Chains A and B, each alone.
With several copies, the nearest count.
Chain A
């Protein structure tokens, strides 16, 4: 009977998760959707505590309090610009929790002998969970610049990674096949776990910091799979349902990001993209034709007397935390009767929807944030395109230069506007490490400055115009 009640509670939790995700599909209801999912989680936890046999609540309370406090403090204090690495960390802990659960179940079940399928599930949970954990932590370190964001490459890297993966498969195979025999099983199990932790690290190391969002999203799918696999171990259906939901969500987001960058997942994971940034960039800056720069007061005049301005933000907006300043500038322009819109490229910044979140933080109404497909036809009609710390997503080479690594990626057509103002600190390339011919166009003016500083100065000048 208690079993039935808790199963029903789990079913309710699963339905709430689904409903929550459904509501996430509209900005109107998204916040409620997230809360509903949280309620589902709460119900699942309470049902577990009430319905399952719990000998002592001491460790449970300690663990929950510590975890909740750490999680809450981290979540409430993190800057919006550091969101990607925060998600990575949380995600890693989720995977870690699944792996630990599998380990504990292994210890519990081994003496008594396993049911048919349990060894596979346990081993799968352990590997996936461990890879998720260590991989996410490396992703975090890279984004937080605790280690270099550059791809870390060394000789025989891919070969040794492959070897490691094969070794893990071998050990796991032995563990599963030999699950019902005696022998050094426990040692091998721990070996599999440690090897998986290592795999997570070496898997993420050669991937460039700017590709981390793809990796995080993939690891998100992994943590879902780990939870689902843990559900197979525990025969717990809400774990399976939630894990499957998260797994598919991660897979879809990964796919979307790869599409938007016009690269395959394999290319993202294995090509050490961006390792040669410095070289190409330097070449571009020294040998190229000259660019026209612009002073803040000239920029202010251009903007202030325009009829319509489209702002195309990129990673530089996040890096210089200029979201409030850009909004102030837009407001000032609108007060002068200028029509202002934002052009949001799907992979501008370093996470899917990164620009949306930042600009939303500055209370820019989301109807003003136009998708690439919607805004591109508007550029030819715009007087000024203001490129704010964006680079790759506005690089015209993507349209015509077959040798460019960006070739084929859909871009924002800022170069079709009457005037282009680009705010960035130098002529250095962006994430893809290629030079940008946009900067050398006749109609382009460069404003070399940190994103925020540049905006503030334009604002000041604008007040005088």
Chain B
């Protein structure tokens, strides 16, 4: 049952992913790549539990490395994406114009 549940979720989430991603315009493909890459750092939450279980030093060590790896991926990924996206601007002054309108 647990497994079935997992398969269900995987299938549905894959559908969601395909549908959502195909809507992203070419303009944003590089940020999309690095943003989704940051999301794949989610395995850090598995790593956290393992690193917290200190009773078995070797396992905890593996956990530590996994946490480091995961954190690099998550923090680096989101920050680098933000840096890229920050640069996407409309015409300068445009934002003010629109604000004034509404």
Which residues of A approach B to under 8 Å, CB–CB?
3-4, 7-8, 11, 14-15, 17-18, 20-22, 24-27, 30-31, 33-35, 37-38, 41, 44-45, 48-49, 52-60, 62-64, 66-68, 70-72, 74-76, 78, 80, 83, 86-87, 89-91, 93-98, 100-101, 103-105, 107-108, 116-117, 216-217, 220, 223-224, 226-228, 230-250, 252-253, 256, 344, 346, 351-354, 356-357, 360-361, 363, 365-367, 369, 371
- Whether B27 contacts A15 by the Cβ 8 Å rule is no
- Whether B6 contacts A75 by the Cβ 8 Å rule is no
- Whether A56 contacts B89 by the Cβ 8 Å rule is no
- Whether B73 contacts A247 by the Cβ 8 Å rule is no
Q: How far, in Å, is A203 (CB) from chain B's closest CB?
A: 19
A10 nearest in chain B by CB position: B45
| Interface assignment of B3: CB less than 8 Å from any CB of chain A | yes
- Whether A245 contacts B16 by the Cβ 8 Å rule is yes
Main secondary structure of the interface of A (DSSP, over half): helix
Interface string of B38-73 (1 = CB under 8 A from A): 111111111111111111101110111111111111
Q: A83-B34, A253-B21 are in contact. List 19 more A-B contacts (CB 8 A).
A: A15-B11, A21-B39, A27-B88, A34-B38, A55-B55, A66-B71, A68-B72, A70-B72, A71-B71, A97-B44, A100-B66, A105-B50, A227-B42, A238-B42, A245-B13, A247-B17, A249-B21, A352-B26, A369-B27
Q: How far, in Å, is B21 (CB) from chain A's closest CB?
A: 5
- Whether A27 contacts B27 by the Cβ 8 Å rule is yes
The distance in angstroms between the C-alpha atoms of A239 and B63, with both chains bound, is: 16
- Whether A352 contacts B30 by the Cβ 8 Å rule is yes
- Whether B86 contacts A31 by the Cβ 8 Å rule is yes
Q: How far, in Å, is B98 (CB) from chain A's closest CB?
A: 10
- Whether A366 contacts B88 by the Cβ 8 Å rule is yes
Interface pairs (11), CB distance under 8 Å = A60-B48, A60-B52, A64-B67, A90-B41, A94-B69, A100-B62, A237-B8, A246-B37, A248-B17, A352-B30, A357-B84
Contact residues in B for A25 (Cβ distance below 8 Å): 20, 23-25, 28
- Whether A41 contacts B42 by the Cβ 8 Å rule is yes
Q: How far, in Å, is A73 (CB) from chain B's closest CB?
A: 9
| List of 10 A-B pairs having minimum Cβ-Cβ separation, nearest first | A67-B71, A63-B67, A71-B76, A248-B17, A244-B13, A54-B52, A71-B75, A352-B29, A75-B79, A353-B29
Contact residues in A for B58 (Cβ distance below 8 Å): 107
- Whether B9 contacts A365 by the Cβ 8 Å rule is no
B44 nearest in chain A by CB position: A97
Contact residues in A for B54 (Cβ distance below 8 Å): 55-56, 58-59
- Whether A59 contacts B46 by the Cβ 8 Å rule is no
The distance in angstroms between the C-alpha atoms of A95 and B42, with both chains bound, is: 10
The distance in angstroms between the C-alpha atoms of A15 and B8, with both chains bound, is: 10
Tell me whether A239 and B33 are in contact in the complex, defined as CB-CB below 8 angstroms, given that A18-B20, A24-B28, A41-B39 are known contacts: no
**From A97, A245, A253, contact of B29 by CB (8 A):** A253
